[in-house]
Amino acid sequence: MRRHRNVKIVATLGPASSTKEMIRALFDTGADVFRLNMSHGSHDDHRARYTAIREIEAETGRPIAILADLQGPKLRVGPFANGAHDLAVGDRFRFDLAPEPGNASRVQLPHPEIFAALIEGSELLVNDGKIRLTVDACGPDFADCTVTVGGTISDRKGVNVPDVVLPLAALSDKDRADLEFACELGVDWLALSFVQRAEDVEEAKTLARGRAAILSKIEKPAAVRAFDEILKASDGIMVARGDLGVELPVHSVPPIQKRLVRLCRSAAKPVIVATQMLESMIDSPMPTRAEVSDVANAIYEGADAVMLSAESAAGSFPLDAVRTMDNVARSVEADPNYRSIIEAARKASLSSVPDAIVTAAREIAETTEIAAICAFSQSGTTISLIARERPRVPILALSPIEAVTRRMVLTWGTHCVITPRLSRFKEAVVNATRAARDYGFADETRQIVVMAGVPFNVAGTTNILRIAPCDDRLIFATDPE
C-alpha cells in the first residue's frame, strides 16, 4: 500500500474507533499513526487497541506508528456546595487550600505549587479561559482575585496559569505509570504534556530509556519561550494549539505555529499540528471551510503530520474525517504554489557529510529522471535529513530495525520498509531497487538514488550515494558483490 501524499495523518483512537475493523478502516482510508490518549481509557483498553494495530500491521506488511499521549498534571478546582456559582465582572473571589466545598466567594485549589508561583497581577483562567481572574494578593495558601471575565464556575473545572512557570514536573505519578506501561507495550512515540522546560523532556527520556521517542507538546507560554532548548532535547514536537489558545491571546497562535513548524524542519525533527483541526466533524460528515483552510495551512507550512483528536476518537464520522484530511493533503500537495512555498523555506545545511549527501540526493532527484530516493538507516537520522530537504520524489526509508521504521512513519514523505540486515553496498542497491518496484515507485525503465553507509549496521555512517537502474538484471541478482 502506497500513500499518494507526503504529510502524515495521526488519528486518535477511542470509543468510536476501538474495534479492529474500524482501526483497519481508518488505516485503509489514510491514517498513518494511531494515538492512544492516556487521559481516557484503561490500560486494558489501550492494550487491546495496540494489539489490533500490530495485527493490522502484520496483515498489511506496512509499519504503523503508535503514539501514546501522556495526560500531564491536571490543575482543577475542588467541588462546590451547590455544584456551581455565577461570577460577575468585578466580583472578589478567593482560591485556597481549605478542603471545604466552595461557595460564591471561594473554592479549594488543591495545588500549593500554584500559590508558590503566583505574584500580584498574575492571571488565573478557569474552564478553558471562559472565566478570568486577576490576583490582587496571594500567599502560600491563598490567592485573592478580581473577576475580569465572568461566567459559571463549577466542580472540578480546570485552571490555567499562563504567565508564570509553575514549579510542577511534567510527569505526575499517573504519567510515570502510564509511561512505563506504554514503553513495555511497545509504543513508538511518547507525547509529553505540560512541558515548560528542557529538563522536563530529559526526565521523560531518562524514564523511557530509548524504548520510545519523546515528542514534546507545546501548549504553554513557558514552552514557547524555551522552545529552542526544548527542541534540542526532543525527538519531535506537537503544536498543541488548544491550550496555547487558552493561555495566550488567540491571535498569537497562528504565527507561533508557523515559527515552530519552520524551526522543527530546520532541526530535521518531525512536527505535528494538532487540536480542533476538523472539530465540527465530531457531529457532522462535512467540515467547515475554515477547518479545511486550517488543515491546508498546516500542510503549506511544511508540517510532518496533522492530527485528529475527538473527530476520530469519539465522533460520529471518524472515516469521513480521515478521508477529508487525505483529500485536503492531496489537493494542497498538487498545487504548484505548495512547491514554491516549501522550497522557499528550505535552508542550506552542509555541516556534515550526511548533510552534503542528502542535499546532493535531492538535487540529483530534481534535475534528472529519478523515481525515488532510497535510504538505509540504522537510527533514522539520515531519513530525517532527507525529509528536511522536502524532495519532489518519494522517500523510501529502509532499515533492518523494526522500531526505526515505525518511528520514521511520522516523518514527512517517508514510505517505510523493513529490510534484511545487510553487509555490502551491492546488497543495499538490490534491496532498494526491489522495494522501489514492489511498492510501485519505479518500473524497469526508471532509476533511483540509493544512499547508505559503510561500514554497514553502524549509525551515523551515511557516506555513499549511487544512481541505480531498476532493471531486471539487478533486481534478480542472486550473488551481489
Q: 475: pLDDT confidence band, cut at 50, 70 and 90? A: low
Annotated active-site residue 265? The verdict is no
Sequence-separated (6 or more) residues with CB below 8 Å from residue 166: 113, 114, 117, 196
Instruction: Express as a percent the part of the chain with pLDDT over 70.
Output: 97
The catalytic position among 5, 8, 35, 132 is 35
Do residues 138 and 66 share a domain?
no
Do residues 329 and 415 share a domain?
no
* CATH classification at residue 125: 2.40.33.10
Do residues 48 and 112 share a domain?
no
Sequence-separated (6 or more) residues with CB below 8 Å from residue 103: 80, 81, 82, 85
Do residues 432 and 298 share a domain?
no
Query: Which cell is 190 given?
Result: 511518547
Of 80-94, 111-125, 423-437, the least confident: 423-437
Cα gap 463→459, rounded to integer Å? 11
Annotated active-site residue 288? The verdict is no
pTM over 0.95: no
Do residues 328 and 432 share a domain?
no
Structurally, how many domains does the chain consist of? 3
Select from 52, 56, 49, 53 the least CA-distant residue to 1. 56
323-350 pLDDT tens trace: 999 999 999 999 999 999 999 988 776 6
The verdict on residue 480 lying in a domain is no
Do residues 229 and 118 share a domain?
no
Do residues 328 and 200 share a domain?
yes
The verdict on residue 343 lying in a domain is no
* CATH classification at residue 198: 3.20.20.60
Neighbours of 15 (CB within 10 A): 11
Do residues 266 and 142 share a domain?
no
The verdict on residue 41 lying in a domain is yes
Q: Which of 106, 139, 160 is the last residue of a domain?
A: 160
The beta strand positions in 97-244, using DSSP E, are: 106-108, 123-126, 131-139, 142-149, 151-154, 159-160, 189-192, 213-218, 236-240
Cis? peptide before 354, omega within 30° of 0 = no
The catalytic position among 217, 269, 388, 437 is 217
- Could you tell me the maximum CA-CA distance found in the chain, to the nearest angstrom? 83
Q: Identify the domain containing residue 106 by its residue range.
A: 84-160
Query: Which cell is 424 given?
Result: 555490502
Q: Which of 131, 160, 189 is the last residue of a domain?
A: 160
Q: 479: pLDDT confidence band, cut at 50, 70 and 90? A: very low
Of 89-103, 283-297, 415-429, the least confident: 415-429
Do residues 64 and 206 share a domain?
yes
27-78 pLDDT tens trace: 999 999 999 999 999 999 999 999 999 999 999 999 999 999 999 998 999 9
Angle (CA) 100-104-110 rounded to 5° is 40
Do residues 465 and 359 share a domain?
yes
Do residues 280 and 224 share a domain?
yes
Annotated active-site residue 8? The verdict is no
Do residues 194 and 293 share a domain?
yes
Of 18-27, 98-107, 219-228, 422-431, the least confident: 422-431
DSSP β-ladder status, 123-126 and 159-160: antiparallel
Q: Which pLDDT value is given to residue 452?
A: 87
Annotated active-site residue 217? The verdict is yes
The catalytic position among 12, 94, 220, 275 is 275
Query: Which cell is 38 given?
Result: 492516556
The catalytic position among 47, 76, 426, 446 is 76
The per-residue pLDDT of the chain, averaged, comes to 94
The verdict on residue 348 lying in a domain is no
Cβ atoms of 259 and 236 within 8 Å: the answer is: no
Query: Which cell is 204 given?
Result: 521523560
